[in-house]
Amino acid sequence: MDDYSVKTGQEGENLVEDILTKVISALGLSCNIFSNFIFPFESVFGENGYMYAEIDKLVLTPFFIFIIEVKNECYSKADYNDTSWILKNDDEVSNPLIQNHNHKLAFCSEMSIPREKVITVEVLLKNGVSNTQSSPFTNDFVFGIEDFEQKIGLLLASTDNDQLDKTLLTSISDISRKYKDKTDTHIEKLKKAEKRQTRIRRVIGHCTLQRTDIIVCNKCKTGKLCFREYRAKSSEAQIRNSTHYLLGCSNYGKSINCDRTIYVDKDKDSTDFLNLTPVTIEQRNGWGDEMKTITLLDHVSELQATINREKAANEQLRDQLQYYKAKAARAEKCKELEAKLKEAYNQIDSLQNKLDEEIENNKKYKKLFGNLFYRKKK
């Protein structure tokens, strides 16, 4: 990450924290904010079986926890269901919705918190694309800077029948202090995980392993396989050693001393790697489908949707009224025309009668010559 990205990212996070502080103070809420909250979580990609996750803003209320991801970037392509988004400069970056969802899963797993108690929020300060999509994740909200202040207030003010365990604040505070200086380690582990995923794609052709997955050792059955690096020559012709990757058991060098080794190398057999069965974070926690948590924002949004539906229905009724009024006016006009037509027919009948009388009268005269006529005798 370059200095400019770090600077703009920090500016965005500072702006969001200022808004959070303002909203919490204005509403008189009891909240705790943790910035750049770092915590470890189990992962096959960690050398010791663990990686770190960093949450931009972690907010605790008496009822819920909010995990907020801030992005101060402008996108040219940002489909909520895509794994990657495209910046205006054509750089490819991770989808922040997926990133924040994985943070939530890791956090809930490590802290033993029901997912329904943790709500994720992505703040796209310079989105650049239309923000009309729906998040693919349950209990997840995507805001722009224009609506963040109003909507985050409704979320933070939400209540529930059950409050959070009061010891949770102490646990989170302890973790925050313990890992507050692990930013560089977190970034280093993140880069290594990306390299390992890239190596898998090159060797295997694809990578289905998630960073929240673990793999139980299929030899000792108690240890966990995790990635390790080693230096070696890829061939006899190679002058210098290069970095290679393998999966080793966490019990290696311990009392069990399991030496299970699985190579991820194009020059070695990949059968063992392909036959591995990862254990997902959902499987480890026995999670099924996450239930929807109804927040104050959901209530207000539903009320607004009802109002909009009523407005649309009223507009439809208004259009129908205008239509029938126009139809009635046309009907009235038709009655007027019918009366005039009837009057015209009556006039025609009167004229026809007069004409008939004239014809009958004309039959009583006989022409002599020129304009001279004489009346016939009866």
Q: What is the pLDDT of residue 271?
A: 84
Q: With respect to CATH, is domain 3-193 assigned 3.40.50.1970?
A: no
What are the tens digits of pLDDT across the range 111-144?
A: 999 999 999 999 998 876 656 788 999 999 999 9
Closest C-alpha among 262, 286, 270, 278 to residue 215: 278
pTM greater than 0.75 (yes/no)? yes
Residue 89 identity (one-letter amino acid):
N
Q: Which amino acid is at 315?
A: E
**CA 273 – CA 250 distance, rounded (Å):** 17
Return the bridge partners of 144, or none: 124
Single-letter residue type at 284:
R
Domain positions in the chain: 3-193, 202-285
Cα separations in angstroms, 249 against 43, 219, 246, 257:
13, 9, 10, 9
Q: By percentage, how much of the chain surpasses pLDDT 70?
A: 90
Q: What does the alpha-carbon distance between residue 370 and residue 192 come to, in Å, rounded to a whole number? A: 127
pLDDT mean across residues, the chain = 87
